[in-house]
């Protein structure tokens, strides 16, 4: 043992047991459950919207929410977080602020967060899908107007969904007594994730607007003799400044030939004028 190696006599075997054995077994299950949960959420979103692009846009809310959950866990370990009193009650004591280790309870909370992280994105994208399927946008300005309208009309439902979820978890993160050491780390990722999920109120409309603008530009330039830079500027609008200024194109797809300049022949000074010809 002093050399760092455990030597046992022949015929004696050993294995890890107890809580460490349970942790290893649970980690092995999580390696399957977390990817399975992500795949199921993606599949359900795809069955609803029937577009990979729209599904990925909504799926961005999962990354934002999971990041928000771990940010809240980090904040719980900071000595200045919630370090104030309200009505004579210490907020650090009320919410049991302290260092939270990444345990099985935390990962279970992350799995639960994955299922609810796409709620706001689904609400906004469903309205946008109805707006664009009814009548395709004729130009880019119309696309932006519809996206702004959808964002303004769906802010209140998204805020209500997030607020009800957070309010329902407040009794859990403030609970004390038996079982609170497991329930609090399980609820913290969901609370932090739902708080940061409000960012999707801006991320989802912006990404959806970008995709629809690309589709609209591609539709308007379809069938024209566009250069490579012109087609690339459909996806990346800043490249439009690189397009070369060319003369207007004819129906055949090429610039029309300019007519040749013809100069009038110079009149000789010795040639007779019409009056002189009549006199002769």
Beta bridge partners of 89: 86
- Please state, in angstroms and rounded to a whole number, the distance separating the CA atoms of residues 167 and 190: 11
Q: Is 38 exposed, middle or buried (0-12, 13-18, 19+ CB in 10 A)?
A: middle
Q: Is 195 exposed, middle or buried (0-12, 13-18, 19+ CB in 10 A)?
A: middle
CATH number at residue 67: 1.20.1640.10
Q: What is the DSSP string of 167-208?
A: HHHHHHHT--STTHHHHHHHHHHHHHHHHHGGGHHHHHHHHH
- Please state, in angstroms and rounded to a whole number, the distance separating the CA atoms of residues 123 and 114: 16
Residue 12: strand, helix, or coil: coil
Nearest to 96 by CA among 29, 26, 191, 214: 191
In a domain, 219, yes or no: yes
Q: Would you say how long the chain is, in residues? A: 280
> CB atoms < 10 A from the CB of 208, how many?
25
As averages over each run of 10 residues, the pLDDT of the chain (280 residues) reads 72 77 85 91 91 90 92 93 90 90 89 88 88 81 89 89 91 88 91 89 90 83 51 52 45 48 51 50
Cβ atoms 191, 64 nearer than 8 A: no
- Please state, in angstroms and rounded to a whole number, the distance separating the CA atoms of residues 32 and 15: 24
In a domain, 57, yes or no: yes
- Please state, in angstroms and rounded to a whole number, the distance separating the CA atoms of residues 86 and 94: 10
Structure tokens at 7: 């030597």
In a domain, 278, yes or no: no
Give, rounded to a whole angstrom, the gap between the first and last alpha carbons of the chain.
139
In a domain, 69, yes or no: yes
DSSP 8-state symbol, 255 = P
Cβ atoms 188, 109 nearer than 8 A: yes
In a domain, 32, yes or no: yes
- Please state, in angstroms and rounded to a whole number, the distance separating the CA atoms of residues 10 and 2: 20
Note the pLDDT of residue 218: 80
Note the pLDDT of residue 119: 86
- Residue at token pair 């055949």: 252
Note the pLDDT of residue 260: 52
Note the pLDDT of residue 199: 87
Structure tokens at 12: 């004696």
Can you give the residue range of the structural domain that contains 119? Answer: 19-237
In a domain, 58, yes or no: yes
In a domain, 112, yes or no: yes
In a domain, 78, yes or no: yes
List the Cα angle 43/48/49 in 5-degree steps: 100
Note the pLDDT of residue 228: 45
| Domains held by the chain: number | 1
Note the pLDDT of residue 247: 42
């Amino acid at each position: 043992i002093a050399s760092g190696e455990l030597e046992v006599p022949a015929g004696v075997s050993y294995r890890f047991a107890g809580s460490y054995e349970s942790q290893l077994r649970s980690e092995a299950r999580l390696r399957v459950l977390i990817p399975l949960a992500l795949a199921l959420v993606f599949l359900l979103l795809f069955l609803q919207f029937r577009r990979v692009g729209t599904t990925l846009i909504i799926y961005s809310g999962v990354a934002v929410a999971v990041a928000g959950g771990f940010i809240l866990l980090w904040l719980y370990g900071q000595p200045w977080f919630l370090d104030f009193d309200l009505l004579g009650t210490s907020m650090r004591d009320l919410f049991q602020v302290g260092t939270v280790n990444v345990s099985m309870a935390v990962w279970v909370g992350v799995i639960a967060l994955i299922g609810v992280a796409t709620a706001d994105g689904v609400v906004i994208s469903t309205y946008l899908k109805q707006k664009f399927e009814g009548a395709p946008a004729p130009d880019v300005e119309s696309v932006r107007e519809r996206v702004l309208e959808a964002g303004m009309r769906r802010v209140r439902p998204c805020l209500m969904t997030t607020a009800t979820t957070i309010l329902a978890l407040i009794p859990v993160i403030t609970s004390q007594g038996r079982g609170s050491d497991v329930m609090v780390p399980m609820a913290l990722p969901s609370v932090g994730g739902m708080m940061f999920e409000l960012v999707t109120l801006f991320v989802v409309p912006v990404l959806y607007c970008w995709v629809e603008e690309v589709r609209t530009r591609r539709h308007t330039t379809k069938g024209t003799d566009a250069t490579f830079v012109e087609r690339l500027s459909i996806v990346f609008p800043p490249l439009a400044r690189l397009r070369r200024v060319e003369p207007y194109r004819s129906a055949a797809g090429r610039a029309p030939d300019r007519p040749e300049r013809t100069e009038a022949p110079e009149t000789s000074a010795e040639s007779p004028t019409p009056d002189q010809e009549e006199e002769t």
